[in-house]
Amino acid sequence: MPGCAGMYFHPATPPEGPAPRFALEQLPWREYWTGVVFNGEKVGYGRLRIEPDGRGGHWLEGETAMRFTLLGFEKHVTLRSRDRVNPDLTLLELDYDYTLDGNRLALRGEVRDGTLHVAATQAGRVEQRAFASAEPVFPMSALALLPVVRGLEIGSAWRVRVFSGEAQEIAEASQRVVGFERSEFLPQPGWKVTTDLLGFGASTWYDAQGLPQLEIALNGIVISYLETETAARSYLADAALNRREVLLDLSVVKVPTPVRSPRAVTAATLAIRTQGRLDLLPRDASQRCEADAAGVVCETSAVPFAAGAAAPGSGLEASMQVPRADRGILRLAAEIAGQKPTDAAKVDAILAWMQANIRKEAADAFSALDVLAERRAECQGHAWLFAALARALGIPTRVVNGLAYSDEWGGFLYHTWNESLVEGAWVAVDPTFAQRPADAMRVKIVYGEGALELAAIADWIGRTRIEVLAYR
């Protein structure tokens, strides 16, 4: 989409007079609906409504729903949000409910004395967290309204601190009004605003009423556009939404020659060409990468490597995704480990238990607790649960995100696995494939289980090529 944008979006002359700017109570509309297109297919809808709170502020009520098919499984994602904000859109209270393949996450919070206090309820457990910020905090829903409230004057720009419920973090967002454009895709010419948050970029075109006519994110992979409530609701009633597996269409990195027995590969040489950040690639004895004229060439190995290799964290910390101190996790880890005499034997026991008890399905989760409750997960859920159980036994374990070769799809798919510190060396462990050590037909991109760490992968998706130069 960025490369072809010049064919479809053209500079235009803005209307005479001041650029649109509205206070929340003066907006000429109170609600809008959008259709959501992912990788060329419509997958859902969104809605935003603004209501006075009776105390001088406003409620921003949002709703998003998406359904699509992946690997034969229907996936369902919903988000319902209510943010109470000041007239300048700074956050006062929040109330969020997420549903992801049947798993639920609820967030309730308020700002007190400059600190955002949030209670997160998931799998029947409640966790209290406090987010201190020296600057005012905005909700995610405010990003669609800030350009309208602050004014669409071309050249104006600002940076704000935003709370992301999905990531449960406060991050910096930047916005800029870059121009006024016309296009056959716009009902009328509009002001173009760019937004950057957590490494994800979006362009939005606003009309004179302050409505977002069109938004293009992730380099055209995700498109949202204004539509009527009737069209949005009827879409949800369609029983055959998104028949193509759009996620795999987008993410698979095909290679010209199939790799034989990829799970048995102990060493490989891979040429990587991508528009993603190559400087993030971990470099250690298991992945040696050298830059060349077009990208990098990486030599990967399944051999365990020195414990001194740098990576974030100790490998024993608890997180929302990996609640290693949860009582249920601790109890199960002790049952699985039994009287196993070594960490290697304990790791093997965890792999065997997961292979027998956790189904491999395209089911997303918020944490290892969801995986344990549902007894099913995709690769990320498997890695989270393995990490939680291993860390509960005192075995330092990282979560690794990158690409692994799939013989079924004839190329590399985005994948999550682990590294555990066993007998003084880090060894790659793949709970999805029950491997210790994991094969070398893979590329590590970034460590971490949180959304902030995973944001770096976004620029790789759909814009990466890999050539397998050699393997054994």
154-164 pLDDT, tens digit each: 999 999 999 99
Does 181 lie in the same domain as 294? no
Rounded Cα distance between 397 and 429, Å, is 9
Any idea what the CATH number is for the domain that residue 327 is in? 3.10.620.30
Rounded Cα distance between 70 and 409, Å, is 14
Does residue 233 register a pLDDT over 90?
no
Q: Residue 5 — pLDDT band, cuts 50, 70, 90?
A: low
The alpha-carbon radius of gyration of the chain (Å, integer) is 24
Does 38 lie in the same domain as 166? yes
Kindly state the average pLDDT of the residues 196-219: 91
Residue 433 has which token pair?
């494939």
Element (H, E) at 268: strand 267-274
Does 28 lie in the same domain as 116? yes
Does 296 lie in the same domain as 174? no
Please, what's the b/e burial string for 68-105 (b: 16 or more CB within 10 A of its CB; e: otherwise)? bbbeeeebbbebbbbbbbbeebbbbbbbbbbbbbebeb
Listed residue (31, 262, 289, 314) closest to 145, CA to CA: 31
Does 199 lie in the same domain as 313? no
From residue 112, how far is each of 87, 133, 224, 299, 453 by CA, in Å? Answer: 17, 11, 34, 51, 28
Look up residue 155 and give its DSSP letter.
T
* Structural domains in the chain (count): 2
Rounded Cα distance between 384 and 416, Å, is 9
Does 266 lie in the same domain as 236? no
pLDDT over 70 for what percent of the chain?
A: 93
| DSSP letter string, 308-330 | T---SS-S----SS--TT-HHHH
Rounded Cα distance between 51 and 57, Å, is 9
Q: Point out which residues pair with 284 in neighbouring strands.
A: 287
Last residue of a domain, one of 228, 244, 260: 244
Cα–chain center distance at 423: 34
What is the pLDDT, as a whole number, of residue 240?
31
Task: Quick: pLDDT tens for 112-138.
Answer: 999 999 999 998 899 999 999 999 999
Does 111 lie in the same domain as 37? yes
Could you list the residue range(s) of the whole structural domain that residue 312 is in? 252-471
Last residue of a domain, one of 244, 277, 304: 244
Residue 219: how many other CB atoms lie within 10 Å: 18
Rounded Cα distance between 151 and 251, Å, is 38
Does 161 lie in the same domain as 141? yes
Last residue of a domain, one of 244, 261, 295: 244
The answer to whether residues 398 and 419 touch, using CB atoms and an 8 Å cutoff, is yes
Does residue 325 register a pLDDT over 80?
yes
Look up residue 276 and give its DSSP letter.
S
Residue 77 has which token pair?
């994602």
Residue 49 has which token pair?
């409504």
Listed residue (384, 409, 447) closest to 262, CA to CA: 409
Does residue 238 register a pLDDT over 60?
no
Kind of pairing between the strands at 115-122 and 125-132? antiparallel
Task: Quick: pLDDT tens for 407-433.
Answer: 988 999 999 999 999 999 999 999 999
Listed residue (333, 413, 415, 343) closest to 368, CA to CA: 333
Look up residue 354 and give its DSSP letter.
H
Does residue 17 register a pLDDT over 50?
yes
The answer to whether residues 22 and 149 touch, using CB atoms and an 8 Å cutoff, is yes
Rounded Cα distance between 462 and 274, Å, is 9
Q: Give SS3 for 366.
A: coil
Q: Is the peptide bond before 282 cis (omega within 30 degrees of 0)?
A: no
Does residue 280 register a pLDDT over 90?
no
Q: Residue 181 — pLDDT band, cuts 50, 70, 90?
A: very high
Q: Give SS3 for 437.
A: coil
Does 299 lie in the same domain as 220? no
pLDDT over 90 for what percent of the chain?
A: 68
Rounded Cα distance between 83 and 138, Å, is 9
What is the pLDDT, as a whole number, of residue 101?
84
Does 203 lie in the same domain as 58? yes
Task: Quick: pLDDT tens for 332-374.
Answer: 999 999 999 999 999 999 999 999 999 998 788 889 999 999 9
Q: Residue 241 — pLDDT band, cuts 50, 70, 90?
A: very low
Q: Give SS3 for 72.
A: coil
Element (H, E) at 288: strand 287-291
What is the pLDDT, as a whole number, of residue 308?
64
Does 168 lie in the same domain as 271? no
Please, what's the b/e burial string for 174-201 (b: 16 or more CB within 10 A of its CB; e: otherwise)? ebbbebbbbbeebeebbbbbbbebbeeb
Does 238 lie in the same domain as 256? no
